[in-house]
Structure 1
């Protein structure tokens, strides 16, 4: 079944029209003032939400655990610094900033890209999916693209705290560029990363030195220690987010019916399916109304390389 891993969790909605998608986004954002959401778009709804490092280790045949993730992450950071990376203005950046920069250039990390802007996430959710090249007869068919069902994900962050609150620890970490203003901790450049990985929840990473793409996409990152075996798996496989059984009928009612009450307090996320037909409608709407295009979201050389019209024949 399409998107089975998400449907099994129960926290999903399947709109039939573009206007229902936009209504659902508005309802997610206005149900309950105590809810804060991070947004992510997947062009293919059959994928779970995992970090690039998680996927890399799976491809290598590794059994995923926090020990394995941490060992590879430490090696990547060590080799990056040995390479001469992680320096800004003559000062070393901390581990979280270096991980954010590595993520930007395609190096696998545990960071999961998200955005504060649902229209940006929706642009990614409505993207076509590449079809690999195939050989037919004596000649190969070049790679093509086709449109299948995508997914717009709103991740609830009830654990969000910019500052410690009594017994509740800080869960939002802003990266810094200079050791003198890095936490006065024996961990040094690793202090904030280590603090985040000790948490029983995800933590948020906001770059103090965002590159043009991160600024354009209003992006930041979520990360956490790898979930314990009893809670690992499911659609949020890289984040410590408990996923209780949901009821899709209740979710649909909350996102389409008259507002009678806020979202359930245990709501971990909402997954909104975007069918191929609706994708096309929304792409036009996003371009004309919200200026969401490859040019505005990828305003760098890599974006020009990947999306520029120079490739058109």
Structure 2
């Protein structure tokens, strides 16, 4: 009972600390320590028994070794798309075609295309935000819905759809022996459902806010769309297709490693095609590398928490209860 309280308490505390902005390198180990103490787990590796330090670091280091190159190449790919202006070019083309009348849809599609093509969510947000701000201003829409619009186009139906180069879609490959295109029929139905219902709901909330008198409120520190020479949109789309095609043709042979090859292909293709459009290539490499380390470090910190939780008695009991629920097994799995 105490172990279960510690497991649930540690998870809730981790969520609260994360939302309050506490660094995950501090929050995750502290919450994992709470789980270990309530599970009567040894703290230091003085014996061969399960202990907090070994369990946490095995989870942390295991994730780091398995996914470092994916994070690194993915970060560089996104940063190169940003630095050359290719991401802005693709987003501007989509936004320009749909225009102010369909401001929300334009932002969602721009985010979706870039995310499904393998560009980091963070890069997508920074690339599309100035355009979203300009569109929302012209359409006089409440600016508080801009984050919702960016997130909807980036981290919902595109991130989890079959074939997506995002790691959420590739992690199960190693453990389930499937491909990133597994159950694409179901994925398509779910993606369409998420996109349709999400877009309807988002529009409904915006219209409700407008009916209450909300409108766009400008700020002094609002970013301005910088005028710079950008590459043709097609040169930004080609690297996205390179990532998707390489992952499609190589996933059966290389399994999880196919993502490394695909992202490397994307990085090389954008360097070859848009080399002359780089604003500062060396700075882009430095920022991309640092960003990759921060991103994978934060993720690994949480994975370490999961590794400690996994060896607690409460976790075993919870999994056993979930997998023996009456009815369809998929419900318990979910």
Greater radius of gyration (CA) = 2
TM-score, length of structure 2 as denominator length: 0.27
Q: Which has the higher helix share?
A: 2
TM-score, length of structure 1 as denominator length: 0.29
